Amino acid sequence: MSGRSIGVFDSGVGGLTVLAHIRAALPGADLLYVADSAHAPYGDKPAEFIAARARFIAEFLVAQEAAALVVACNTATAAAIAELRTRYALPIVGMEPAVKPAAEATRSGVIGVLATSGTLESGKFAELVRRFGSQARVIVQPCPGLVERIEAGDFDSAATRALLEGFVAPLLEQDADTLVLGCTHYPFLAPLLREFAGEAVSLIETGAAVARQLQRRLAETDFTCGASGGTARFYSSGDPRHLQALLPRLWGAAAPVELMAC
């Protein structure tokens, strides 16, 4: 394996919540990040469309010598990861809503899963609930419109608050004590979720677990990280200036963003 980079992608900025965990786990790795902003959100689009985007972006990342791929998007994982794994012999790590840990953690016996319609309607999610849902009551909550607020960098306006509260309140009313953040965009709203749900409710996301899984998969290969801090390169299929303007806030550092022609 010659590539030294980790290729990561999402429909937009959501995968940056995963990228941060990857950076913490692999400080010396060179990271490539693609935001498919020209096609965000993925959540309500047909699975075939998302699979075609995933193929295109994976091809782009492999051409940039990615040694592994992380599908930092629950919706794209459900739609496309099986096919990507048949195409490439690289480690390919994806996301899935944390139903299993939530079912193990709940004390009330009720968990709420916040995710996109695409994720919740997928066969992969149905299988997850079939396997682990017997341990708890699983209430699903699609969140249309939420990813658009996050893509706009709007984490705290009256509109975002009202939208999020409308999704979370019914879960709390039904006694959910554990909320699964089943979309990589949602951790950006964790402070607001915490405010609505209170301290007693657990919020579960999967970024750290995915970074650990990536580490395990890389350890099975001859992948090596640089000794010093790794680089991060960012690409967008939309207007690069949009992602570039958000990076200091969402990634913690300014960086140039290149256009990925699509």
Task: Name which of 168 and 181 has its Cβ closer to ligand DGL.
Answer: 181
Instruction: Decide if 19 contacts 247 (C-beta within 8 A).
Output: no
Neighbours of 222 (CB within 10 A): 8
Query: Cβ of residue 178: shortest distance to ligand DGL, in angstroms?
Result: 18
Establish whether 225 is a catalytic residue.
no
Task: Name which of 132 and 186 has its Cβ closer to ligand DGL.
Answer: 186
Catalytic residue among 73, 143, 225, 262: 73
Strands (E), 134-195: 137-142, 178-181
**CA 213, CA 229: separation in Å to the nearest integer?**
21
Interacting positions 60-79 with ligand DGL (CB under 6 A): 73-75
- Position with the least CB separation from ligand DGL: 43
Task: Name which of 9 and 223 has its Cβ closer to ligand DGL.
Answer: 9
**CA 99, CA 136: separation in Å to the nearest integer?**
9
**37 lies in the binding site for ligand DGL (CB under 6 A):** no
Establish whether 73 is a catalytic residue.
yes
Give the DSSP letter string of 189-239.
GHHHHHHHH-TTSEEE--HHHHHHHHHHHHHTTT----SSPPPEEEEESS-
**43 lies in the binding site for ligand DGL (CB under 6 A):** yes
Considering only 127-135, 180-188, 206-214, 231-239, which stretch makes contact with ligand DGL by CB under 6 A? Answer: 180-188
**CA 149, CA 142: separation in Å to the nearest integer?**
15
Using CB under 6 A, which of 26, 33, 41, 54 touches ligand DGL? 41
Task: Name which of 96 and 177 has its Cβ closer to ligand DGL.
Answer: 96
**10 lies in the binding site for ligand DGL (CB under 6 A):** yes
Question: Which three-class secondary structure state does DSSP give residue 102?
Answer: helix
The alpha carbon of 57 is separated from its chain's Cα centroid by a whole number of angstroms, namely 15
Give 3-state DSSP helix, strand, coil % of the chain, rounded to 5. 50, 20, 35
The pairing of strands 92-94 and 137-142 is unpaired
Interacting positions 92-111 with ligand DGL (CB under 6 A): 95
Considering only 9-17, 22-30, 57-65, 86-94, which stretch makes contact with ligand DGL by CB under 6 A? Answer: 9-17
Considering only 10-18, 200-208, 212-220, 231-239, which stretch makes contact with ligand DGL by CB under 6 A? Answer: 10-18
> Which among 96, 127, 95, 97 is positioned nearest to 112, based on CA atoms?
97
* Catalytically active residues, by annotation: 73, 183
Binding site for ligand DGL (CB under 6 A): 10-11, 14, 40-43, 73-75, 95, 116, 119, 147, 183-185
